[in-house]
């Protein structure tokens, strides 16, 4: 299969590119600039464009068997200077379906969108959170374009654990430093609550599964392990060889600010993905601890 991965120079898209290439597919990266030197994607072909600025014409897209959209912006990308409503409209609500429509006009038969789990687990959050609403509308807008000859599906994953050599992994560098005792001012604690986590390896497997067998017009809620924030941070401490046992404290954590806990501090966003869908998509479960060890190694050495 000849596949274009939009967002292919990033962590998730880059992992998907490596996985699909290893599985025998032809892969082109769609990005605003070529992959950084020193990354595994540096020698892969690149189609330059920015979907939020009208890039990637139907002529550019013609000839691909499938497009994977892995470029959706999230709450890490918005700045205090951005108009929030306008930002989400450009990058999600209007931007994603408009791009999917170009893919259809180019005659590409399959489109797999990577979304986010919030609205599929807790649709009520979309009523009050602009980001979750934007993700929901981007998901629904793209899938509404499904037609005979144009298979559209969405994978809605949880928090993804992964890193790529050559791409800064600041979050995990900071977490690893904290676990090694280099940030004693923070202390050894985590906020209450928790969520589902999934490795980027498992996500890449699910992407291939969707490319090969997803039902058109369907959104798939995917995921792996439900963990408290304390348990997730403990995996990091264990990975760096710390013997510290974290406690739980009901306060805003400097490495997990409340604005990043979409469901609200103290709440748990847990679920079990459908067993039949998991089998069809063919992704690995129980992979989070391994992924944490891997990203800590990439971000600055293990135990």
pLDDT band at 300 (very low <50, low <70, confident <90, very high): confident
Q: How far apart are CA 281 and CA 211, in angstroms?
A: 9
pLDDT tens readout for residues 246-268:
999 999 999 999 999 999 999 99
pLDDT confidence bin for 80, thresholds 50/70/90: confident
> Residue 277: inside a domain, yes or no?
no
**140 and 238 fall within a common domain:** no
pLDDT above 50: residue 10: yes
Report d(CA 214, CA 43) in Å as an integer.
29
Are residues 244 and 150 part of one domain?
no
Residue 190 lies in a domain: yes
Q: Are residues 33 and 150 in the same domain?
A: yes
Q: 74, 10 in Cβ contact below 8 A?
A: no
- Give the structural domain span for 128: 2-158+198-223
Same domain, 24 and 126: yes
pLDDT confidence bin for 195, thresholds 50/70/90: very high
pLDDT digit string (tens) for 155-181? Answer: 999 999 999 998 888 999 999 999 999
Within-domain flag for 281? no
| Residue 301 pLDDT > 60 | no
Q: What is the pLDDT, as a whole number, of residue 303? A: 47
Q: How far is CA 70 from CA 4, 17, 51, 81, 258, in A?
A: 10, 11, 11, 25, 25
pTM, to two decimals: 0.95
Please write the tens of the pLDDT for every residue from 139-151: 999 999 999 999 9
Residues 42 and 174 in one domain: no
SS3 state at 36: coil
The string of DSSP letters for 49-101 reads: --GGGT-S-HHHHTT-SEEEE-----TTT--TTS-HHHHHIIIIITHHHHHHH
In a domain, 136, yes or no: yes
Strand, coil or helix: 249: coil
| Residues 234 and 216 occupy one common structural domain | no
Q: What is the mean pLDDT of residues 37-65?
A: 95
Compute the mean pLDDT over every residue in the chain, rounded to the nearest whole number: 95
Task: Specify whether 202 is located in the same domain as 251.
Answer: no
**Looking at per-residue confidence, does 102 or 76 come out higher?**
102
Same domain flag for 120 and 175: no
Q: Name the residue among 217, 215, 213 with its Cα closest to residue 205.
A: 213
Same domain, 150 and 49: yes
The pLDDT of residue 302: 47
Mean pLDDT lowest for which of 68-77, 102-111, 125-134, 232-241? Answer: 68-77
237 in a domain, yes or no?
Answer: yes
Q: Would you give the end-to-end CA distance of the chain in angstroms?
A: 40
**Rounded-to-10 torsion of CA 225, 231, 232, 235:** -110
Place of tokens 């450009």: 90
Token pair in block for residue 40: 């595994």
- Condensed to tens digits (0 to 9), the pLDDT of residues 202-213 reads 999 999 999 999
With respect to residue 280, please indicate whether it lies within any of the assigned structural domains: no
Q: What is the pLDDT of residue 73?
A: 73
In angstroms, what CA-CA distances link 244 with 182, 187, 237? 13, 10, 7
Contacts of residue 50, defined as CB under 8 A and 6 or more positions apart, other chains included, come to 32
**Is residue 52 located within the same domain as residue 187?**
no
DSSP assignment letter at 5: E
Task: Confirm whether 236 is domain-assigned.
Answer: yes
Helix H or strand E segment including 146: none
Query: DSSP alpha helices (H): ranges in the chain?
Result: 11-22, 58-61, 84-88, 95-105, 118-121, 130-143, 170-179, 200-213, 229-239, 275-281, 288-300
* CATH code: domain of residue 91: 3.40.50.720
Whether residues 187 and 126 share a domain: the answer is no
The per-residue DSSP string of 175-194 comes to HHHHHTTS-TTT-SEE-S-E
Do the domain assignments include residue 178?
yes
* Same domain as 206, residue 145: yes
Is the pLDDT assigned to residue 132 strictly greater than 90? yes
Residue 58 has pLDDT above 80, yes or no: yes
Total number of domains in the chain: 2
Tell me how far apart the alpha carbons of residues 192 and 258 are, in angstroms, rounded to a whole number: 11
Report how far residue 154's alpha carbon sits from residue 138's, in angstroms, rounded to the nearest whole number.
Answer: 10
Torsion angle of C-alpha atoms 249, 254, 256, 262, degrees rounded to 10: 90
């Amino acid at each position: 299969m000849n596949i274009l991965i939009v967002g292919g120079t990033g962590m998730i898209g880059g992992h998907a590119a490596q996985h699909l290439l290893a599985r025998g597919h032809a892969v082109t990266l769609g990005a605003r600039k070529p992959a950084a030197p020193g990354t595994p994607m540096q020698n892969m072909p690149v189609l330059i464009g920015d979907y939020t600025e009208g890039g990637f014409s139907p002529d550019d897209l013609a000839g691909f068997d499938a497009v994977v959209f892995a470029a959706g912006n999230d709450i890490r990308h918005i700045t205090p200077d951005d108009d929030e409503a306008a930002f989400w409209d450009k990058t999600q609500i209007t931007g994603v379906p408009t791009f999917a429509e170009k893919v259809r006009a180019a005659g590409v038969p399959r489109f797999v969108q990577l979304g986010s789990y919030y609205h599929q687990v807790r649709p009520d959050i979309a009523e009050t959170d602009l980001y979750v609403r934007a993700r929901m509308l981007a998901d629904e807008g793209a899938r509404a374009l499904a037609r005979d000859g144009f298979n559209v599906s969405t994978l809605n994953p949880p928090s993804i654990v992964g890193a790529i050599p050559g791409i800064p992994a600041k979050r995990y560098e900071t977490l690893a430093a904290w676990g090694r005792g280099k940030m004693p001012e923070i202390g050894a604690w985590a906020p209450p609550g928790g969520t589902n986590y999934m490795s980027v390896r498992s996500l890449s497997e699910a992407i291939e599964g969707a490319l090969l067998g997803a039902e058109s017009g369907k959104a798939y809620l995917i995921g792996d392990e439900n963990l408290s924030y304390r348990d997730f941070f403990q995996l990091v401490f264990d990975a760096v060889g710390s013997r510290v046992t974290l406690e739980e404290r009901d306060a805003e954590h400097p490495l997990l600010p409340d604005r990043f806990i979409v469901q609200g501090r103290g709440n748990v966003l847990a679920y079990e993905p459908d067993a039949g869908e998991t089998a069809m998509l063919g992704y690995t479960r129980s992979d989070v601890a391994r992924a944490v060890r891997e990203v800590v190694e990439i971000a600055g050495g293990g135990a």
